[in-house]
Amino acid sequence: MMKKFTITMLAIAICFSVLAQEKVDPAAMQKIRTEGLEKSKVMDIAFQITDVAGPRLSNSPGLKRAQNWAVKQLTDWGLKNVQLEAWGKFGKGWQVDKYYAATTLPFYHAIIASPKAWTPGTNGPIKSEVILIKADTITDLDKYKGKLAGKIVLFDQVTLQPLVTTYKPDAVKHPDSTLAKMEQATPAAQRPGRPAGNNNVMAQMMKMREVRAAMNTMLLEEKVGLILTYARGNHGTFFTSNGASYALDAKPVSPELEVSPEDFLHILRLLRAGEKVEVEADIKTSFYDQDPDGYNVIAEIPGTDKKLKDEIVMIGGHYDSWHSATGATDNAAGSAVMMEVMRILKAIDFKPKRTIRIALWSSEEQGLYGSKNYVAKHFADPKTMILTKDHKKVSAYYNLDNGTGAIRGIYLQGNAEAGPIFKEWLTPFNDIGAKTVTINNTGGTDHQAFDAVGIPGFQFIQDPMDYNTRTHHTNQDTFDRLVEEDLKRAATIVAAFVYNTSERTAQIPRKELPKAPETPKP
């Protein structure tokens, strides 16, 4: 009987010990709330990143401006070890110096468009009748040879359909029902291998790529003046992309303009009807290859505990953007929030036990290059899973990169043991809508670089807003799309997570360490 009593009491003691460990300091949380919600500077930070620095395409002058400003600002706030840290070779930078295009026949109309990233300009003003190219095979191109020098061309894309008006709202917030489903999710079962592809479909895709590559080569040889390309989107919004490689030894390409759907379809309808269309354009772009390295902005609030100061709590978001707007929701929002987190913690005179480190990543848009290379250098290479001595020092990494929407909770990335901890940490912020903890994974951004090597890496759940309909990679991603109250709340919640992670006795629990991928047999 005594033995059972002892075991029972021990279990209860352990339970209370865990609960006590996760007990949130109300006074500290109130300090963070007051600074983050009532004295916020997050919009001032976002203004500098967007309106002042401008578009931040990888290795562009705009990204350099933003990085240099962040280094100065973080230094002025009193952070330590502030630096631009090189992560490796990226390639050429690029920017638009001038863009103008309009139809002049059958009437004048300014075209909503943007040069594709890493494409050349028109080498001065050009004006020509638009030539509609119809080609399904490589041999179909023969009839255009010798006729395209200096001309503006457009491909007849037979699969294009008229735009359809939608009655769904552009901007939405997560309803309670969606958050409840996320909360109730269970760990995903191991996914089976990818099913075999349809050989006919694959063959058709390869054929289309072959034809398009041949077309591009022919247009370059013909010295075409400008290519007009259809851009996905509607109602004046278009999603942008790159039209060439950023590699230092990239092959030359023709000037290419990504045109909003309404303007592209307008021209296409006229040409199909046999009407004459004339376009004038003047595009100037610049390439930058003097320094092909990529850089991350790094800064710290040093830890103060003798035993824990060498351990690290990391936060971050990607700093680079696309070029047709100023990258406000993708991802000046996340970057501004993370900078504001550091400002809040300095403003309340927080002396953390563990070192707090911020990283503003570059080249996320091209493949998470900034974060992946940083992790490989400092912690572990996922290709080999050989760990550095600092791998064990990172308690957690927190990321923000899903637009301007309010934080509603956090994705656990399958780390079930972290769930009860985060649930407790969200409790002081239930009143501002943050309460959901889901076992689910989310992808597509920099926390994956940490998760891939077994370091707890997390992305917060955010309201979608109009991220996927209007702002993500579009010409509408400007400062005006930012929601001030949501960004204030986000910075406050993240600051609280950082505070708690730093002060916690133990590190955030880890999942099983991933294994290095098997090398394919020859």
Domain-located, residue 355: yes
Task: Work out the number of other CB atoms within 10 angstroms of the CB of residue 500.
Answer: 21
Q: Which residue has the tokens 């609030």?
A: 301
How would you class 431 by CB atoms within 10 Å of its CB: exposed for 0-12, middle for 13-18, buried for 19 or more? Answer: exposed
How many structural domains does the chain have? 2
Helices (H) and strands (E) in the chain, counts: 12, 20
User: What backbone phi and psi angles, to 5 degrees, belong to 381?
Assistant: -95, 120
Amino acid at 356: I
Same-domain check for residues 61 and 160: no
Same-domain check for residues 363 and 260: no
Same-domain check for residues 264 and 325: no
Structure tokens at 259: 């045109």
Per-residue pLDDT of the chain (522 residues; tens, 9 = 90+): 444 434 333 333 434 344 446 889 999 999 999 999 999 999 999 999 999 999 999 999 999 999 999 999 999 999 999 999 999 999 999 999 999 999 999 999 999 999 999 999 999 999 999 999 998 777 888 899 999 999 999 999 878 888 988 899 999 999 999 999 999 999 875 443 444 445 666 676 677 677 777 888 889 999 999 999 999 999 999 999 999 999 999 999 999 999 999 999 999 999 999 999 999 999 999 999 999 999 999 999 999 999 999 999 999 999 999 999 999 999 999 999 999 999 999 999 999 999 999 999 999 999 999 999 999 999 999 999 999 999 999 999 999 999 999 999 999 999 999 999 999 999 999 999 999 999 999 999 999 999 999 999 999 999 999 999 999 999 999 999 999 999 999 999 999 999 999 999 999 999 999 999 876 666
Q: What is the pLDDT of residue 200?
A: 66
Domain-located, residue 192: no
Last residue of a domain, one of 233, 259, 285: 285
Same-domain check for residues 456 and 491: yes
Query: DSSP letter at 168?
Result: S
Domain-located, residue 416: yes
Note whether 336 and 358 are within 8 A (CB): no
Task: Work out the number of other CB atoms within 10 angstroms of the CB of residue 272.
Answer: 12
Same-domain check for residues 169 and 31: no
Amino acid at 364: E
Q: What is the pLDDT of residue 449?
A: 98
Please give the radius of gyration of the chain, using alpha carbons only, rounded to the nearest integer.
Answer: 26
CA distance 333 to 106: 42
Same-domain check for residues 358 and 497: yes
Domain-located, residue 516: no
Domain-located, residue 12: no
- The pTM of this model reads 0.93
Last residue of a domain, one of 285, 300, 318: 285
Same-domain check for residues 303 and 441: yes
Q: What is the DSSP string of 27-95?
A: HHHHHHHIIIIIS--HHHHHHIIIIIT----TTSHHHHHHHHHHHHHHHHTT-EEEEEEEEEE---EEE
Assign residue 277 the CATH number of its domain: 3.50.30.30
Q: What is the pLDDT of residue 190?
A: 44
CA distance 386 to 165: 53
Note whether 279 and 322 are within 8 A (CB): no
Nearest by Cα to 294 from 137, 126, 60, 475: 60
CA distance 97 to 121: 9
Same-domain check for residues 62 and 150: no
Domain hosting residue 219, numbered range = 99-178+199-285
